Structure 1
Amino acid sequence: MFKPLCFMVMPYGRKATLAEPGKGPVEIDFNALWDKAYVPVIEALGYQPIRADQDTGALIITQMLERLYFADLVLADMTIANGNVYYEIGIRHAARRRGCVLLAADWSRQLFDLAQLRTVRYPLPEGAILDGTAVAIQAAIKDAIGSLEGGISPMHGAIPGYPTEVNESTAAGMKDQMAQLSEFQAEVRAVRAVPKAERMGRAQALVDAYSRGPMTGAVAIALMLMLRDCADKADDWNLVLKFIDGLNDELRSIAEVTEQRALALSYAGRHVDAIAALEALIATAGPTHERLGLLGGRYKRLFDAATTPGDKQKALARSIDNYERGMQLDLNEYYCSSNLPSLYRIRNRAGDEKLAQSVVQFVIAACERARRRGATDPWLRATLLVAAFDSGDADKAEALADEVESGDAAEWQLKSIIGSLTLSLSHVTDDAGRARLSAVIDRLRPA
């Protein structure tokens, strides 16, 4: 007699974790995790273990769908953000009412939608899966899998009667809601289309209109992001804060909302409050390069505002530390690394100039890679221009200045970066190069 089947959804081979240094291993041997931890538990629970890469032939999508549907139990390891794993979890949740259990290392953080779902956590101090670690993982997951395997999937739980007996009145009501949401999104697009000087007023009017009645979470988030994108002055950012603080507890607890609140606090001049909010978010939801970059930027603002040498030194050290942590999470992202060269030079310790020159090469490579991919980040070109100054590359700076003059200057954020270009110029020691870079600033300085 055949045992019930357990289909394991997980990466295989060695995979990088992108975990912050000191918060998780650099990579995981998922084959060892399967062999030494998952298989013994699955067998002890009375199932026959199987995963995709053990097929003798290529597992085409039809076969994968069949396994996800017919398996008596599906286990999914979400320790790293793997697109295939996330996709297969969604398929199983939609296909079967019960029998899908999510698992992840205790230090890992999941993307928002799945982060809301109950997940079995296990210890993973190293990626090689030593014997002691394998035993600890087995102890952490066995009973938890047994207790959760009968849980109802989110799809079946959210829609009564799904998939074949959905109440038609429920379906009609949802379609009405989506139609209303589409109309609302058209109003948001209209706000974005008006001249910049008029946007905040139009945005506030739209907020007032939708605040008169019940507001869905989707509408609240969209209004928050619209206000953020329209904000310019400190008073505008105070309006963003007022809106966020008026949301319910559930919405305010969403990581994205917390991030935007911290940003609004800082632009409203409340840097210390912004730092406290970001540090609390990172402690509970984990670091990302975006969160660490925001935190580094807030300490940088504290450095600019500090009036004593001691306060300046502390703020500078914390700014550098957070930007470095953010850079190490993903060297393909240039947000954190682009701020470091000038900060190293301000600190001016032995070896800092060498660090600045090293990091600026990462910044240039990441920016050029993003340009080749057609990235739409509005700060990409500005970052590349500042990096040319940070590296003292007058040829590159002049070539970029030609691009500015032959295209849309607004795309280069010149008003915001002139100060950064001037600061970078002050660290250039070559007289001829400094003169050429100074001439570029003169060309680019807004009238």
Structure 2
Amino acid sequence: MKKKICFVIMGFGKKKDPLTNRTIDLDETYKKIIKPAVTASNYNCVRADEIMESGIIDRSMFALLINAELVIADITTYNPNALYELGVRHAVRPYSTIIIKEEEEVSPFDINHSRTLSYKHLGSEISNLEAKRCVRELKDLISTVTTTPLTDSPLYSFIPKVVQPKLAQEHFDEIIGELRTREDSIYSLMENAKEMIVREDFVNAAQKWKRLSEMVENDSFFVQQFALCTYKSQTPNKLVALTTALTIMEKLKPFNDAESLGIAGAIYKNLWRETSDMEFLNIAIETYKKGWNLFNDYYTGENYANCLEQRALNESDSHLKIYYRIEAERTRKEVIDIVLPLLSVHKEELEEVKWRSATLSNCFRSLGDISRAEEYEQKFLNENPETWEISTFQATKEELIKLKL
């Protein structure tokens, strides 16, 4: 490869931050900040999952850690593999390593003196304004590292006489081969699965996510996507797909992140719809409630309120019926208080506003404000949602209309 290589070590997909309990989409960081900055700096940008054939670190990884002219390490969510690989890089290369992290992260003691670029992540996305700022700053850092290399490894800083290991270029070329051409790499499989979801090919998408979950053990993101696509596939029928998805999610219990709680809640809710078994609705309520109470996650909040309304409809005790409806109304108002400022303040900066708009539409409709419900429904549609996303929104809308009859 003629261009110099920048090897990026970081987690991929959506990961839970153990300190803040937030779920961070690390792919957003890679696609909106790291890759644009690296490419603009005339480096060939390679992320670990673009060359990995399994979740186990292989010789390609070690070769890149030794010989890549530049390494960028994103330690957001304290991904253990990323931290390990950063340690290896610091052991084999005295300079040309850049650390980045989400601004709420606290750097581990051993590297808190290293040069670090911080960025603001909104969880599922990064604002365009923030991405532009970070791309600019990261490009400046790359330029500095390239033109004026300084020791940034703690090992070589404290013990400067350590002999750096070397890997002959011909051996490096032999190990690396053609980067990002393997159809069975984690990156390729993940991109294929995402494309299938856009095409609503949930059956084949589920198979891709299944393979990924087997390749990378204990990765919750792959398991979540496997379960999500399984229940949306409705294959061989809705009930079997839902029970299979529930079995897949069992691997992640206890559910302690918003993504798992949201998917599990949806499975239980749909199981109730298919079977009319109130126990499924009760579990859905408790699952969504946990996601709402722990994370103020608007998706679980909206669905918690919707399930409470359904529970009220099927409750014979008049006092409980009143409680469910009051709790649903209170929750929807709190959801609006959380989501509305995000759209009004940051709308011009965000790519993904459709689900926030859909949530506001549903909440306003439930509260009887039809004018604002229609306003935000149109904003949702203006974002060009996929066909399956429109179907999901319409199903919820129709359900809410029936509740008010």
TM-score normalised to structure 2 length: 0.52
Is 1:224 matched with 2:196?
no
CA distance in 1, matches of 2:213, 2:391: 37
Larger Rg: 1
Q: Counterpart in 2 of 1:271?
A: 242
Give the structure 2 partner of residue 6 of structure 1: none
Higher relative contact order (CA 8 A, sep 6+): 2
Q: Which residue of 1 aligns with 2:14?
A: none
User: 1:344 maps to which residue?
Assistant: 308
Which structure 1 segments of 5+ residues have no match?
Answer: 1-15, 21-77, 98-110, 115-152, 154-160, 182-209, 430-447
Structure 1 residues 311-333: Cα deviation after superposition (integer angstroms, max 9, x where no partner): 2x1011011111111112311x3
Is the 1:237–1:267 Cα contact (8 Å) retained in structure 2?
Answer: yes
Identity %: 15
**Aligned pairs for 1:244-283 within 5 A:** 244-245=209-210, 249-251=214-216, 253-268=218-233, 269=238, 270-283=241-254
1:289 aligns with 2:258: yes
Distance 1:238 1:419, change over 3 A: closer
User: 1:247 & 1:82 partners in 2: Cα distance?
Assistant: 21
Corresponding residue for 1:95? Answer: 90
2:193 aligned counterpart, secondary structure:
helix
* TM-superposition CA deviations, 1:90-130 (whole Å, max 9, x none): 76553247xxxxxxxxxxxxx9xx9xxxxxxxxxxxxxxxx
Amino acid at match of 2:181: Q
Q: Give deviations 1:35-73, integer Å, cap 9, x for gaps.
A: xxxxxxxxxxxxxxxxxxxxxxxxxxxxxxxxxxxxxxx
SS at match of 2:216: helix
Aligned residue number for residue 330 of structure 2: 358
Partner of 1:318: 283
Q: Structure 1 residues 426 and 251, CA, compared in 2 at 3 Å: closer, same or farther?
A: same
**Equivalent position amino acid for 1:337 in 2:** G
Assess if the C-alpha contact under 8 Å between 2:258 and 2:295 holds in 1. Answer: yes
Q: Tell me if structure 2 keeps the 8 A contact 1:367–1:380.
A: yes
1:402 and 1:249 map into 2 onto residues whose CA distance is 41
Residues 334 and 363 in structure 1, CA contact (< 8 A), matched pair in contact too: yes
CA shift for structure 1 position 251: 3.1
Closer, same or farther: CA 358–254 of 1 in aligned 2, 3 Å: same
The equivalent of 1:367 in structure 2 is: 339
Shift in Å, 1:252? 5.9
- Structure 1 residues 217 and 17, CA, compared in 2 at 3 Å: closer, same or farther? closer
Match of 2:47 in 1: none
Q: Which runs of 5+ in 2 are unaligned?
A: 1-17, 23-74, 93-104, 109-153, 155-161, 313-319
What is the CA distance between 1:165 and its match in structure 2?
1.3
**CA 1:179–1:249: 2 relative to 1, 3 Å:** closer
Alignment of 1:7-18 (within 5 A): 17=19
Deviation at 1:343? 1.1
Match of 1:190 in 2: none
Give the deviation of 1:162 after TM superposition.
9.8
Task: Flag the 1:410–1:261 CA change in 2: closer, same or farther, 3 A.
Answer: closer
Match of 1:376 among 351, 356, 377: 351
| Structure 1 residue 409 displacement after superposition | 6.1
Q: Which residue in 1 is equivalent to 2:27?
A: none
Report if the CA contact (8 A) 1:388-1:396 is conserved. Answer: yes
In the TM superposition, 1:110-125 aligns within 5 A as: none
Kindly tell me the number of residue pairs found equivalent between the two proteins.
Answer: 252
1:221 to 1:362, Cα distance in 2 relative to 1, 3 A: same
Q: Secondary structure at the match of 1:317?
A: helix
Alignment of 1:65-144 (within 5 A): 81=77, 94-96=89-91
Q: Report the TM-score, using the length of structure 1 for normalisation.
A: 0.47
CA distance in 1, matches of 2:168, 2:214: 31
- In 2, the alpha carbon distance for the partners of 1:90 and 1:251 equals 16
CA apart distance, 1:224: 2.6
**CA distance in 2 between partners of 1:303 and 1:337 (Å):** 18
d(CA) in 1 for partners of 2:186, 2:290: 32
In structure 2, the CA distance between the partners of 1:386 and 1:261, relative to structure 1 (3 Å rule), is same
- Counterpart in 2 of 1:416? 392
Asked if the contact 2:190–2:208 (Cα under 8 Å) also holds between the matched residues in 1, the reply is: no
Residues 162, 171 of structure 1: CA spacing in aligned structure 2 closer, same or farther, 3 A cutoff?
Answer: farther
- Matched letter for residue 338 of structure 2: A
**Contact residue 344 and residue 356 of structure 1 kept, 8 A:** yes
Change in Cα spacing, 1:354 to 1:262, as seen in structure 2 (3 Å) is same
Partner of 1:300: 269
1:394 alignment partner in structure 2: 370
Distance 1:217 1:395 in 2: 46
